[in-house]
Amino acid sequence: MRTPFVAGNWKMNKTIAETRELVFKLSMKLRDIHGVEKVLCPPFMSLMAASALLEGAGIGLGAQNMHWEEKGAFTGEVSPVMVKELCKYVILGHSERRAYFNETDDIVNRKLISAQTFDLTPIVCVGETLEQYESKLTREVVSRQTSQSLRDVSPAFAQRIVVAYEPVWAIGTGKASNGLEANAVVKDVIRPALAKLFGDETAQAIRVLYGGSVTSANASEFFGQPDIDGALVGGASLKIDEFVAITQAAVI
Ligand code: PEP
């Protein structure tokens, strides 16, 4: 039995003051929803403010990225030790990081190994581009991303990993995939790749989310699928009623 999981990726949105307002309002409503693991991922600058407001609310806090090194001469970067001071979770390998900041599977994997070292729960993103989707390369691409991004960690740690299947063509476009198609990728591509890395039992225990234009209108279609355990939500996570309704829909 996998506990449903819903995370909000705020991307580069909200100042510290705006974060305080949104976190306060969200937490008032989300704290009463049980049976789903809830995580908010505001920008680095707002993590401290969010952390103070979320104390005791039963809502987790995540960073949107981190460096893999513990410390050193990496101007502008944030280390896993720093993330760990405020967060339990970290998003790794989001497609925007892969596309705009040249993050490869190898870099994502280094960050994952670092998450293991520093006891962070990673949300690892995989997903094909529109061009790959149209060329029918989804399975090949997602399988490779999963195998290469998630290699070389222990099966015990692997159970904590959350994978987000996010077709790039569905992110921020308002053009979500559909439940059956997304479930097929999770069931036939992601879980088999996880099984090869960690064995069947662990592969079945790992939560796999769908992400890409999830709204309160389509969330149940994804959550109703047997292999989809929740959602990574971008745009709709900034709208209180939308994110609350999506979170509520994830409760089994
Ligand atoms: C995301 O940023 O991970 C995402 C899925 O965005 P959106 O929900 O806006 O498509």
Contact 38, 58 (CB under 8 A): yes
Mutating to test ligand 1, I would choose from 233, 237, 242 the residue with most ligand atoms within 8 A of its C-beta, which is: 233
**Contact call for residues 177 and 127 (beta carbons, < 8 A):** no
- Report the SS3 class of residue 78: coil
Contact 75, 83 (CB under 8 A): no
Can you tell me the distance from the alpha carbon of 222 to that of 249, in angstroms, rounded to the nearest whole number?
Answer: 10
Tokens 């299947």: give the residue: 165
- Collapsing DSSP to helix, strand or coil, 24 comes out as helix
Residue 240: the pLDDT is 98
Residue nearest to atom 6 of ligand 1 (CA): 234
Query: Is residue 131 flagged as an active site residue?
Result: no
Q: What is the pTM of this model?
A: 0.98
Confidence of residue 100 (pLDDT cuts 50, 70, 90): very high
Residue 252 has pLDDT above 90, yes or no: no
Q: In which domain, by residue range, is 54 found?
A: 5-249
The tokens for 98 are 């892969």
Residue 1 pLDDT level (bands cut at 50, 70, 90) = confident
Q: In this structure, are residues 27 and 61 in contact, taking their beta carbons and an 8 Å threshold?
A: no
Annotated active-site residue in 96, 103, 128, 166:
166
User: Does 156 score more than 90 pLDDT?
Assistant: yes
Those residues with Cβ within 8 angstroms of residue 34's Cβ, 6 or more apart along the chain or in another chain: 58, 251
Could you tell me where the beta strands, DSSP code E, fall in the chain? Answer: 5-9, 37-41, 60-63, 89-92, 121-126, 162-165, 207-211, 230-233
Q: Which atom of ligand 1 is nearest to the CA of 213?
A: 10
Question: Which tens digit of pLDDT belongs to each residue from 19-38?
Answer: 999 999 999 999 999 999 99
> Which CATH number goes with the domain that contains 34?
3.20.20.70
Residue 187 CA to ligand 1 center (angstroms) comes to 21
Q: Smallest Cα–Cα separation from 57: which of 22, 35, 33?
A: 33
* Number of structural domains found in the chain: 1
- Tokens (6 digits) for 174: 């308002």
Ligand 1 nearest atom to the CA of residue 231, by list position: 5
d(CA 39, CA 43): 13
- Provide the b/e sequence for 195-231 (b: ≥16 CB within 10 Å): eebbeeebbebbbbbbbbbbbbebbebbbebebbbbb
Specify the pLDDT at position 149.
98
The 3-state DSSP class for residue 79 equals coil
The residue assigned the tokens 């063509």 is 169
Q: What mean pLDDT do residues 115-134 have?
A: 98
Instruction: Give the residue, by CA position, lying nearest to ligand 1 atom 7.
Output: 234
List Cα–Cα distances, 212 to 35, 84, 110, 182, 184, in angstroms: 23, 27, 25, 10, 16
> How high is the pLDDT of residue 35?
97
* Residues 182-229 pLDDT 10s: 999 999 999 999 999 999 999 999 999 999 999 999 999 999 999 999
Q: Is 214 in the pocket of ligand 1 (CB under 6 A)?
A: yes
143 is written with which tokens? 């399988």
Residue with tokens 């306060």: 24
235 alpha carbon to ligand 1 midpoint, in Å? 6
What is the rounded distance in angstroms from the CA atom of residue 70 to the CA atom of residue 169?
Answer: 34
94 a catalytic residue:
yes
Phi, psi values for residue 241, rounded to 5°: -65, -35
**Nearest atom, ligand 1, residue 9 CA:** 2
Query: Would the CB of 143 count as within 6 Å of ligand 1?
Result: no
- How large is the average pLDDT for residues 66-71? 98
